[in-house]
Chain A
């Protein structure tokens, strides 16, 4: 592959990372996962419900995809660190999608708690991929804290509002020496393509696929969008200009 996607020394075959939340059933999730071509998926950690039949891990293991546990729902660094430690023990991985949210209404990351949790987890040997705001300075702080990637939101989780501040995402890309993964807010395929065109290294999404009317078909669309957006970025788009510029020759025109 001439354009490898590498995080913390690990090569991933797809730049699309699939969140498993929101799928109405494990069968639907399985079909979407296959259609997405993703080889890394997130899971959450929750209190045990013995009545639950079947596990998301059965699906992920069967498809041979890497499991990325998250700390979704944590409001403090302390909660996030404990959840990450539990996930490491449960899933035998030191990789964690670090999520520390400020409140349940916005689900926006709490920058102060996020950096504190990142520092603690890095010191504890974790490979930390933080879900963060579209704030270039906070992204820089997280990279300085030792995170292996930064994952800015396009817009709040589950909103499908797309990328509200493309300029900030570009600034994060420009200022970052670790992979940038657009995480949250994707609504449809053009949002994912835009993320890649802006220079992101990957896209992480869940609801846009799992809550669409046809998750497998939307997963296929997202996979194609990420590939197309990446190719467009690498190809180098034409500059935008105010005045028209003909592509046909100006000379040799027919005279009447």
Chain B
């Protein structure tokens, strides 16, 4: 299925979860967070939250700043 991840269109496995996406993106466990269509997905739901075609995903992490 097709998703928009951090502004770029990506193909990912059907029925993938947020946890699957984080793993494939190489996101570090500490300091990462996910929003799907503007809503933050709680860490406790990463394993079970299934992504759906066409959704907009923001994958962020902590960096040096202000």
Do B6 and A42 touch (CB < 8 A)? no
User: For residues 82 through 101 of chain A, which have their beta carbon under 8 Å from a beta carbon of chain B?
Assistant: 82-83, 85-91, 97, 99
Cβ contact of A90, chosen from B7, B32, B65, B66, cutoff 8 A? B32
B28 CB-CB contact with A under 8 Å? yes
User: For residues 2 through 55 of chain A, which have their beta carbon under 8 Å from a beta carbon of chain B?
Assistant: 19-23, 29, 42-48, 50, 52, 55
Do B65 and A86 touch (CB < 8 A)? no
Of A64-72, A168-176, A236-244, A248-256, the one touching chain B:
A64-72
A123 CB-CB contact with B under 8 Å? no
Q: Known contacts A48-B6, A55-B28, A82-B40: does B64 contact A90 (CB below 8 Å)?
A: no
Most chain B CB within 10 A, of A48, A50, A157, is at A48
Complex-state Cα separation, A44 to B65, whole angstroms = 5
Write the B33-66 contact mask toward A (1 if CB under 8 angstroms, else 0). 1110010111100000000000000111111111
Q: Known contacts A82-B35, A86-B40: does B25 contact A43 (CB below 8 Å)?
A: no
In the complex, the chain B residue whose C-beta lies closest to that of A22 is: B64
- 14 additional contacts, CB 8 Å, given A19-B65, A87-B33, A90-B33? A44-B63, A45-B61, A45-B63, A46-B60, A47-B60, A55-B61, A57-B30, A69-B62, A82-B35, A82-B38, A83-B60, A89-B34, A90-B31, A97-B66
For the residues of A in contact with B, the DSSP-based class is: mixed
A residues with CB within 8 A of B: 19-23, 29, 42-48, 50, 52, 55-57, 61, 67, 69-70, 72, 82-83, 85-91, 97, 99, 157, 206
Cβ contact of A87, chosen from B25, B42, B62, cutoff 8 A? B62
Contacts of B30 in A (CB 8 A): 55, 57, 61, 90
Cβ contact of B62, chosen from A44, A85, A99, A157, cutoff 8 A? A44
User: What's the least CB distance linking B14 to chain A, in Å?
Assistant: 22
Task: Write 26 A-B pairs (CB below 8 A) sorted by A numbering.
Answer: A19-B66, A20-B64, A20-B65, A20-B66, A42-B66, A45-B33, A46-B63, A47-B59, A48-B6, A48-B32, A48-B61, A50-B27, A52-B63, A57-B30, A70-B66, A82-B40, A86-B35, A86-B40, A87-B62, A88-B40, A89-B33, A89-B40, A89-B42, A90-B33, A90-B61, A97-B66
Complex-state Cα separation, A50 to B21, whole angstroms = 12
In the complex, the chain B residue whose C-beta lies closest to that of A92 is: B43
Most chain A CB within 10 A, of B31, B40, B41, B43, is at B31
Do A56 and B64 touch (CB < 8 A)? yes
In the complex, the chain B residue whose C-beta lies closest to that of A207 is: B66
Contacts of A52 in B (CB 8 A): 63
User: What's the least CB distance linking B45 to chain A, in Å?
Assistant: 10
Cβ contact of B63, chosen from A43, A88, A89, cutoff 8 A? A43
Contacts of A70 in B (CB 8 A): 65-66
Complex-state Cα separation, A107 to B33, whole angstroms = 26
